[in-house]
Structure 1
């Protein structure tokens, strides 16, 4: 039974955020098919009927959350062709890692959607593919100008995605290998420093202390 008095104390934006967080947890754990409106409602401390007052459907909520991830990652692209490659790449890697550290369940939800066949994602991937194409153009120009070593720009970009998202999508493995218990913070500074150095060395650049900070 939902505590009506407790519900009354929450504002509409607070209830909507509780629904959002509950949905992220359920979708990250069970995917679209496995998650239920009942389980989302219970996590948000709502009845199922109350939940449907705030959402159109489970599917619509799922698409909304995925679209948010796509929008966020599309903004985190890079296109500063005249900028210093080391600085541009270091900044990009740091932003990608920050998302993994701060929004691990959203990252897992995105990964689970891809693993399950991306039936929903296929319809909303145009924007990130366009932004990725811009990044590829930047990398290609840097290669042509001799500013980074010759490499496959598409594979290089996807390697960055794989490494930065690993710390969210494979959090359990990371913690097991590094002997960090659940609930304890990972050493973000250490990880950022190593991943930035790894990426920059991979394209023939020497990171500065500012790049690694």
Structure 2
């Protein structure tokens, strides 16, 4: 994972850490709106309320900022799947996973758009991390296959089950404006995520009951 420039030669002070965090937060705003190619160091510096030379003291390039954000994000993004337990009830574990993914969409919309943009560009900055993703998914699909073999879960392709959960839950982050516009003022508040969770639980569980 990329490191801030100020961390290369010395231990960071509290003020340096605060500035790095401010830069990263501003960059997350800029990248999530404009994508990597459409974003500039000048835009990030302006969003952070810093001069360009000051920002470049902490990060040499736009790519260095982006790599650090993506590296941190991917680790966070995998946490909901890591929590799926082989010892739990299969349907309950899948319901919990759906809810955790929706909570990510609700609480981390900027990060969700950043991750989506990276994947759409061919994931150039997280090729090594993609192998970790595959390892984790293979581990969880093996668990699902055991559940199916034991008659505790309806037979299906577990990889495509996970893809379907990703697609339906991530929609609420990537297309939030569209979701709220279609639902209208009466249904577009925070309760939309609970409505989505109940619907997706029914959608998946009706098809997964053994």
When normalised by structure 1's length, the TM-score is 0.84
Gaps of 5+ in 1: 1-9, 206-213
Secondary structure, in 3 states, of the residue corresponding to 1:63? helix
Query: Which residue is equivalent to 2:123?
Result: 118
Question: Is the Cα–Cα contact under 8 Å of residues 30 and 44 in structure 2 kept in the other structure?
Answer: yes
Question: Is the Cα–Cα contact under 8 Å of residues 74 and 127 in structure 1 kept in the other structure?
Answer: no
Question: Is the Cα–Cα contact under 8 Å of residues 90 and 153 in structure 2 kept in the other structure?
Answer: yes
Q: 1:198 aligns with which of 190, 194, 203?
A: 203
Question: Is the Cα–Cα contact under 8 Å of residues 79 and 138 in structure 1 kept in the other structure?
Answer: no
**1:60 correspondence with 2:53:** no
Q: Aligned partners of 1:161 and 1:105: how far apart in 2?
A: 16
Query: Which residue is equivalent to 2:168?
Result: 163
Secondary structure, in 3 states, of the residue corresponding to 2:86? coil
Query: Which residue is equivalent to 1:105?
Result: 110
Query: Which residue is equivalent to 1:93?
Result: 98
Gaps of 5+ in 2: 1-13
Question: Is the Cα–Cα contact under 8 Å of residues 141 and 158 in structure 2 kept in the other structure?
Answer: yes
CA RMSD of aligned residues (A): 2.1
When normalised by structure 2's length, the TM-score is 0.85
Q: Aligned partners of 2:117 and 2:147: how far apart in 1?
A: 34
Aligned length in residues? 195
Query: Which residue is equivalent to 1:172?
Result: 177
Q: Aligned partners of 2:191 and 2:26: how far apart in 1?
A: 24
